[in-house]
Structure 1
Amino acid sequence: TRGARIDAGPAAGELARALTRLHSGREINIQVEGDGHFAGDRQDLIEILGNLLDNACQWARSRVRVKLAEHGGMLEVTVEDDGPGMQAEARELATARYGRLDESAAGSGLGLAIVSEMAALYEGGLELGNSELGGLLARLRLPAGQP
């Protein structure tokens, strides 16, 4: 599957529509901008993006923004939300298996750990930071492959 080149924009759009329906009681606006390709398995891409977007939807007040672009042979995906964000010292725990920061919130504590581990398998990575929307910014890098 490393030779496959998957169009990431439509996959992100499909996930955004599905998560908008899943979180319909909360009126979350998920905006997807840009495009790019992923050199790997489509199901892996869906799992990686699905975990990132679902995490953002769980914490967002009303807005999630997804940006996709290719730079230097890598697909860069940023996922931002307007939720409460995360303190810098908590970010490492958030990407560890079962590293739940809020025990009262739904979830298993695996989502960001899965994203981080799967990105590493593809020689990519995940970085967490502060979003200009006020919440968490997740920056994912994955191989884009050759056109």
Structure 2
Amino acid sequence: AELARALARLHAGRAIAIEVEGEGHFAGDRQDLIEILGNLLDNACQWAASRVRVTLAERGEMLEVRVEDDGPGMPEAARELATARFARLDETAAGSGLGLAIVSEMAALYDGGLEL
């Protein structure tokens, strides 16, 4: 919720509503979780029309984090490229092309993954 508030302020000019539902426990480093969630939420805010929803749920020993936005979506064919380092699907948008690659790599360190 703290991160959602910070990103809502960062994207205040676009009036993006960020909703957080559910709860869960992350058995890892807090900074790693902030890095993962920060990248996911910032990406969602960048592409959202007006709303981003984060849903947290524990699945066995894993924390499932679902981030959804009401933006245009990503073509299925672009999903693999989206997690490659420095890959940018839209060169006109701000960003370095590292965010989703970082999320994917950090999630793998915790035996997790990223699914687009």
If the length of structure 1 is used for normalisation, what is the TM-score?
0.78
1:16 aligns with 2:4: yes
Structure 1 residue runs of 5 or longer lacking an equivalent are: 1-12, 129-147
How much has 1:72 moved relative to structure 2? 1.4
What's the counterpart of residue 16 of structure 2?
28
1:51 aligns with 2:39: yes
Structure 2 residue runs of 5 or longer lacking an equivalent are: none
For residues 33-75 of structure 1, what are the alpha-carbon distances to aligned partners after superposition, in whole Å with 9 as ceiling and x for unaligned? 0000111100000000000000000000100000000011110
SS of structure 1 residue aligned to 2:114: strand
| Aligned pairs for 1:46-125 within 5 A | 46-125=34-113
Moved over 3 A (4+): none
| Letter of the 1:81 counterpart | D
Percent identical pairs in the alignment equals 84
How much has 1:122 moved relative to structure 2? 0.9
* Aligned Cα root-mean-square deviation (Å): 0.4
**In the aligned structure 1, how far is the partner of 2:25 from the partner of 2:51?**
25
- Aligned residue pair count: 116
Q: Which has the higher contact order (CA 8 A, sep 6+)?
A: 1
Q: Greater share of strand residues, 1 or 2?
A: 1
**In the aligned structure 1, how far is the partner of 2:3 from the partner of 2:107?**
18
SS of structure 2 residue aligned to 1:125: coil
If the length of structure 2 is used for normalisation, what is the TM-score?
0.99
